[in-house]
Amino acid sequence: MIRVTRLNGLPVIINADLIKFIEATPDTLVSLTTGEKIMVKETVEVVAELVLGYRRRVERTSSERD
């Protein structure tokens, strides 16, 4: 899960595993595999880094269990 900010300033938590793609339109649009689209204040690069950080944490946790 990643925390981002909607354009109205409210935080929202997104399941990073459901992100289909992220695009700048010029605002950042996060499209989910469910068909939902969420506009956020963070840049495409920041959202991508949040997703990568989330995946690293998941992998680290998974490897610690093995």
Give tens-digit pLDDT for 24-52.
Answer: 999 999 999 999 999 999 999 999 999 99
Residue 59, SS3 per DSSP:
helix
Give, in order, the Cα–Cα distances in Å from 44 to each of 4, 31, 60: 11, 12, 24
Residue 65 has pLDDT above 80, yes or no: no
Q: Are 7 and 40 in contact (CB under 8 A)?
A: yes
pTM of the model: 0.88
Q: Are 5 and 38 in contact (CB under 8 A)?
A: no
